[in-house]
Structure 1
Amino acid sequence: MSMNQSNNQIIKKNLLIICRGAGDLATGIIHRLHRAGHRVIALETDYPAAIRRQVSFCEAVYDGSAAVEGVTARLVPALADAETDTETYSGINDTPAAHIASEKWDSSAIEAVLEAGEVPLLIDPKGESIALLKPDVVVDAIIAKKNLGTTINMAPLVIGVGPGFTAGQDVHLVIESMRGHNLARIITDGMAQPNTGVPGNIAGFTSERVIHAPAAGYIHDVRKIGDIVQKGDEIARIYPDKESYDNALSEYVPVNATITGIIRGLIREGYYFSEGFKIADIDPRESELTNCFTISDKARNIAGSVLEAVSAFEHGVKIY
């Protein structure tokens, strides 16, 4: 048997895994699973709001592709929107949901991206493609602090990351997402710790390092990810409406750095948000520039536990 034949046989045995979400934490999971040899498909919303954009596959929604640490996610555009009446559909060996999904996505286009060694990314916030693709594993890593529609019957193994899921009810397993002693613990019964609203401690800073919008509007980024800023420096401007944004009028609300450090995350230019929306993240460790462009320790920890759960499932080891 040739090496190519052997590799092809191995590839055919690999699991198909769908990850709901492609922000920075989800990207860590997708990256790990892909590097481990699994076929991974990412699902995202129409307008992702990641701030750690340099390490988020969801940027492919805007740019067509996104590369993080040697792995590329590529957008697979939806076909022309089609409405299908599930009451009158009479397909054989199929489900109405799968039939609807087949009219939205070209499975051959998805397969082509997988065969190219990349991660297909679909704009599918409701997870409608899951019925079409029939994955072995579904991972919900949206990190919405609540369940946005994931159910335990979506796949033979369903994993929820962070609060909002109950192991044994809406998912098989939950992965703890809160920093601390239990970070990335695999939960087989119950829920992850509730969201405290307080960011993890980095060099003595918690809430101060995360910037929330002081007003609603469209953002213009004055600085960029990777820039070193001093406390009080202007890093962005918020324009109240599209006209003032498009014309860079003088009516805007400045966004200033809350601490001295490196801009690790900054929401995409032109994004519209409500007041209080998380729009930036500053790392106080000025020597840690590479952190802006590499997967975080938190994401890697969580990804390791997801891979552990997937590996156990793959080898028939029952852990729930």
Structure 2
Amino acid sequence: MSEKTRKKTHSLMPRGKNETITVLIRGGGDLSSAVIHRLWNAGMRVIVCDLEMPSCVRRTVSFCNSIYEKEWTIEGVTSRYIDGIDAIEETLAECIIPVLTVPDHVVLKAVHPDVFIDATISKKKPNYDLSWAPLVIGLGPEITAGEDADLVVETQRGHYLGTLIQKGKALPNTGIPGNITGHTYDRVLRAPCEGEVVCLRRIGDQVNEGEPVLTVSGQPVRAPIDGIVRGLIAHGFHARKGLKVGDIDPRGFEDHCYTISDKGRTISGAVLEAIVNFFVSEGSLRFIKNGCDHA
């Protein structure tokens, strides 16, 4: 089936003064949460799907942390874990972002979103296509614009970060963590074995090189450098060997642990641009308002 034919399976709802854009997002990690935060503050209705035990590390700036904490607030925007589709509208009416562990393809059939965004940055071939929503957006490598998604957003740091790709893929994954004051691999904490995580420190704590930050199956994971614990996987998470379970920021700024990153803001701006451009071109962007006060 051609792209044009597949896209014809969707018809945009006529937009009156009380209607807004509904966005379904796969993934509630830190970069996804930057997108969620931006779209919510732009007045859109945002619904989030994630796993029952997300492996997010930057939990303080990840809306999926509400799955562990029931509710979570990032820069004035609150999310809430809900256990079923029936609670979506009620939660949105309270000006709170609903976060579900119901599979997104099930939620999609119930809410019929205007936009579907894969924000997991899984770096894997996706299991969705252009038929999922009038506008489908993917973040990061291995998603093909024009086949899997309408647009792909470049997520690799550097000159092309935030580029909207209309055909082809984002740059391939380098496997190299972002460079912070000369530190890349040596600022990341990884599980030395499979097993349950026990956190010994908290996000925002200052640590010295060699200090234990957590254990995995009883084996200590030590800070590789001096700095602040910026990311730490959830206590009790069952990690596989080699999984990223934390990271240390050598700059040591505590407020960086609780605010959206420059990378996240760049990516989220690109997504907002893509959505606005699409609905303007469709002639259906008359009013964007989710009914919440965005002070």
Taking structure 1 as the reference length, the TM-score comes to 0.81
Offset at residue 237 of structure 1 (A): 1.3
Residue 274 of structure 1 is matched in structure 2 by 240
- RMSD value over aligned CA atoms? 1.3
Residue 258 of structure 1 is matched in structure 2 by 224
- In the TM superposition, 1:219-258 aligns within 5 A as 219-239=197-217, 252-258=218-224
3-state secondary structure, aligned to 1:264: strand
Q: Distance in 1 between matches of 2:247 and 2:134?
A: 37
Residue 217 of structure 1 is matched in structure 2 by 195
Residue 308 of structure 1 is matched in structure 2 by 273
Q: Distance in 2 between matches of 1:195 and 1:150?
A: 20
Contact 1:266 1:280 in 2 (8 A): yes
Offset at residue 126 of structure 1 (A): 4.7
Offset at residue 270 of structure 1 (A): 0.8
Offset at residue 195 of structure 1 (A): 0.7
Residue 24 of structure 1 is matched in structure 2 by 30
Find out whether 1:13 has 2:19 as its counterpart. yes
| Equivalent in 21, 45, 55 of residue 49 of structure 1 | 55
Contact 2:126 2:148 in 1 (8 A): no
Residue 99 of structure 1 is matched in structure 2 by none
Residue 111 of structure 1 is matched in structure 2 by 89
3-state secondary structure, aligned to 1:114: helix
3-state secondary structure, aligned to 1:301: helix
Residue 165 of structure 1 is matched in structure 2 by 143
Matched residues, number:
268
1:158-180 deviations in Å (ceiling 9; x for gaps)? 00000120000010000000000
Offset at residue 125 of structure 1 (A): 3.9
Find out whether 1:293 has 2:258 as its counterpart. yes
Find out whether 1:133 has 2:111 as its counterpart. yes
Show structure 2 runs of 5+ residues with no match.
Answer: 1-15, 284-295
3-state secondary structure, aligned to 1:177: coil
3-state secondary structure, aligned to 2:99: strand
Q: Distance in 2 between matches of 1:76 and 1:229?
A: 35
1:121-154 deviations in Å (ceiling 9; x for gaps)? 1113453211111000011001111134221110
Amino acid in structure 1 at the alignment position of 2:67 = V
* Cα pair distance change 1:205/1:317, threshold 3 Å: farther
Residue 183 of structure 1 is matched in structure 2 by 161
Taking structure 2 as the reference length, the TM-score comes to 0.88
Contact 1:140 1:150 in 2 (8 A): no
Find out whether 1:64 has 2:70 as its counterpart. yes
Q: Distance in 2 between matches of 1:111 and 1:316?
A: 28
Q: Which runs of 4+ in 1 moved over 4 A?
A: none
| Equivalent in 186, 192, 202 of residue 180 of structure 2 | 202
Amino acid in structure 1 at the alignment position of 2:222 = N
Q: Distance in 2 between matches of 1:208 and 1:304?
A: 30
Q: Distance in 2 between matches of 1:198 and 1:125?
A: 30
Contact 1:126 1:149 in 2 (8 A): no
Find out whether 1:73 has 2:68 as its counterpart. no
Q: Distance in 2 between matches of 1:237 and 1:168?
A: 44
3-state secondary structure, aligned to 1:180: coil
Amino acid in structure 2 at the alignment position of 1:296 = S
Q: Distance in 1 between matches of 2:145 and 2:128?
A: 12
Offset at residue 238 of structure 1 (A): 1.6
3-state secondary structure, aligned to 1:47: coil
Residue 86 of structure 1 is matched in structure 2 by none
Contact 1:22 1:42 in 2 (8 A): yes
Name the % identity: 44
Contact 2:124 2:142 in 1 (8 A): yes
Rg larger in structure: 1
* Cα pair distance change 1:180/1:317, threshold 3 Å: farther
